[in-house]
């Protein structure tokens, strides 16, 4: 099992909760201090310090007798948060993703139609409250769990497939079988810490470093058709790129060529 990062407990909890807040997971309110103490296995003072940091940044409001609630950070701020990091348009990666799906096993944890949050609506160019299919899956290799994937697909596109189909085929294949012509994708790669739930599914310690992928896929008419949140074990996944220098001597730039998405 991967060791936890060498940082203070309160900061680990702060980072995990901050990520979940930006994903809109606490629309109905944050868990209480006791629940957070049990989830992270820490003392009340540690939980309170993490919550105080979130409150200081204007992400939550703590009111005696009313609990702790998330504050609206705004769709633009949320979108910007998800876009931080190196950006690249993807070409051959879509084929690599399908290949990966065919070479790994999948456990479908949950599939349901939900209303689009501000984050999801902004990414998929929908209205807040529009129906989207939310699917959560864990992919594994022979060595064990590889990734924890959450996808959001507009309900009109996802109506032809559900839990049974997602357990058998990669979602890109299912979308194309339903008549969607997949075009380009935009991907952001960063890092985050494993919370208690993800840590359990990926068999790592709470607070372990994970490779975080945000991938927005468009059809051939440039309509967003899938927003993916992926968390990968860095010891079992790597993304290979080849960089070349082009341009004149005084204006050379790096250009990339995606080679493969490796997993082991």
Task: Examine the domain organization and report whether 225 and 96 are in the same domain.
Answer: yes
Q: What is the pTM of this model?
A: 0.63
| CATH number of the domain that residue 217 is part of | 3.40.1410.10
> In this structure, are 99 and 197 located in the same domain?
yes
CATH code (residue 65): 1.10.10.10
8 A C-beta contact, residue 239 and residue 158: no
Q: Mark whether 67 and 89 lie in a shared domain.
A: no
Confidence class of residue 142 from pLDDT cuts 50, 70 and 90? Answer: confident
Question: Domain residues for 25?
Answer: 9-73
102 and 86 together in one domain: yes
Question: Is the same domain home to 44 and 124?
Answer: no
Domain total of the chain: 2
Q: What share of the chain is helix, strand, coil (3-state, %, to 5)?
A: 35, 40, 30
% residues pLDDT > 90 (the chain): 29
Same domain, 119 and 200: yes
92 located within any domain: yes
Residues 1-46: tens digit of each pLDDT: 444 444 577 877 887 888 777 767 777 788 888 988 988 888 999 8
What does the pLDDT look like over 71-122, one tens digit per residue? 765 443 444 343 333 333 334 445 455 555 556 789 999 999 999 999 899 9
Total residue length of the chain: 264
pLDDT at residue number 250:
58
| Residues with Cβ within 8 Å of residue 231, at least 6 apart in sequence | 147, 148, 149, 192, 194, 198, 202, 210, 211, 212, 213
Domain co-membership, 104 together with 141? yes
């Amino acid at each position: 099992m991967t060791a936890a990062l060498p940082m203070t407990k309160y900061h680990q909890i702060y980072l995990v909760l901050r990520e979940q807040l930006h994903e809109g997971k606490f629309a109905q309110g944050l868990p209480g201090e006791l629940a957070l103490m049990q989830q992270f296995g820490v003392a009340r003072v540690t939980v309170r310090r993490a919550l105080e940091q979130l409150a200081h940044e204007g992400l939550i409001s703590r009111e005696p007798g009313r609990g702790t609630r998330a504050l609206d950070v705004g769709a633009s701020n949320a979108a910007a948060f998800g876009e931080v990091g190196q950006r690249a348009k993807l070409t051959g990666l879509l084929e690599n993703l399908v290949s990966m799906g065919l070479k790994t096993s999948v456990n479908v944890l949950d599939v349901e139609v939900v209303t689009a949050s501000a984050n999801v609506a902004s990414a998929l160019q929908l209205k807040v409250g529009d129906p989207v299919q939310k699917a959560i899956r864990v992919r594994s290799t022979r060595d064990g769990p590889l990734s924890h994937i959450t996808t959001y697909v507009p309900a009109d596109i996802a109506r032809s497939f559900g839990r049974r189909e997602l357990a058998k085929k990669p979602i890109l294949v299912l979308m194309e079988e339903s008549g969607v012509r997949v075009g380009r994708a935009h991907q952001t790669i960063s890092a985050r810490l494993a919370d208690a739930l993800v840590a359990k599914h990926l068999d790592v310690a709470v607070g372990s470093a994970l490779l975080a992928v945000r991938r927005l896929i468009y059809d051939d008419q440039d309509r967003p058709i899938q927003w993916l949140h992926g968390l990968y074990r860095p010891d079992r996944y790597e993304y290979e790129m080849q960089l070349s220098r082009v341009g004149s001597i005084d204006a050379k730039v790096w250009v990339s060529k995606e080679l493969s998405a490796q997993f082991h």
